[in-house]
Amino acid sequence: MHGASQTGIPGRKEVIRRWKEKGGLVAGVFPIHYPRALFEAFGVLPVEVWGPPSADPGPGSSHVQPYVCSLVRNSLSFVHSGDFSLVDLVCAPHGCDSLQGLGSLLTDFIRPEVPVIPLYLPRGERREALSFLAAELQSTAKRLEEITGKNPSAEEMERAIEADERARELAGELLQRRRELPLSTEEFYRVLRSREYLPAEEFSKLALAALSKKGAHPEGIPIVLSGIVPEPRELLDELDGMGALVVADDTAACGRRLYPAGNSSDPFVRMAESILSGPPDPARGASISERADHLLALARSSGARGILFYETKFCEPELFYLPLLRETLTEKGLPSTVVEVDVGEPLSGRVTGRISAFLEMLQQ
């Protein structure tokens, strides 16, 4: 978990300390989709674990095959680290086979001393998906009640859901107004990704402060950033240095979790509606045509000239989609390139060279 940042945004450890001083619990949450509002309603702060780049990969590598993605490997290493003592429980959503394997390791083999809550997500748009996920969220609530001894009232649930919906709305506004904000790419993503650990209302205040900033507008070759997570962070400074400007985001860590608000009066159905109505994602079984249409719409609305698929090595859901997805985008006149990285390794010259060549092509 990262410490305090240099941009005035509190780091994970500081936020955790403050939360615990108020008597709250902390959940370490692995990628990708989960009901943040549900945890906050029980007084539990979700702190997301995206395969910490600083983690020693050794402990995690001893539990998984060498072709499992670095997010899972580094997340397992986090379980063995001293920072893991900061969490009171773990949530393991099943976003892909590797993440499902991570959940199974934690519930059946490694078994950390804190409770582990697996979370099963439906795939595709079948009629039963909404009722299945709503029931799964109810089951998660029962586990949280057992762990915390709390039973939030209907009003407390509604407040948590509304605060989360407001935070997502502001995250979406940050992305929509990216060209207007006088922030470097690294500064912009520090704000956007602080949602991974800040309480909803605290993030909303931070987002509003960022949206109110005045100054020179950033310039550069406009691109869509896609993939799983923008790690290691050197990528963001490199993009600025190469003259790129990320004007739209389709990463699993950010853009694909801009869920719209749900409509139901039942809090569990409302949260399920929200997650299932989010942008198309391979982790939720979206079709290639849905993905292509979404990316084309992002490029049109933001003025992006191309897409950088910044992928984690061995990420099967992402990589299986790319050949047909890129072919469709090319046919529609939207160029793209793919680079694969290990989140625990520094950027290589091969990766930066490929990105630079792509940007040069977009300028022609």
Q: Does an H or E element contain 207, and which?
A: helix 200-211
CB-based contact 13:4 (threshold 8 Å): yes
CATH class of 12-152: alpha beta
Peptide bond into 232 cis (omega under 30): yes
3 state DSSP class of 72: helix
Task: Tell which wins on pLDDT, 345 or 271.
Answer: 271
Ranges of beta strands (E only) in 58-112 are 89-93
The pLDDT of residue 272 is 97
Q: How confident is the model at residue 84 (pLDDT cuts 50, 70, 90)?
A: confident
As a whole number of angstroms, the distance between CA 128 and CA 41 comes to: 26
* Domain ranges across the chain: 12-152, 217-363
The partner residues of 45 in beta bridges, in order of sequence, read 26
Same fold, 12-152 and 217-363: yes
Q: Among 3.40.50.300, 3.40.50.150, 3.40.50.11900, 3.40.50.10260, name the CATH number for the domain at 217-363.
A: 3.40.50.11900
268-318 residue pLDDT tens: 999 999 999 999 999 898 999 999 999 999 999 999 999 999 998 888 889
Of 6-15, 22-31, 88-97, 333-342, least confident by mean pLDDT is 6-15
Q: What is the DSSP string of 209-259?
A: HHHT--SPPP-SEEEEEEES---STHHHHHHHHTTEEEEEEEETTTGGG-P
As a whole number of angstroms, the distance between CA 146 and CA 327 comes to: 49
CB-based contact 276:129 (threshold 8 Å): yes
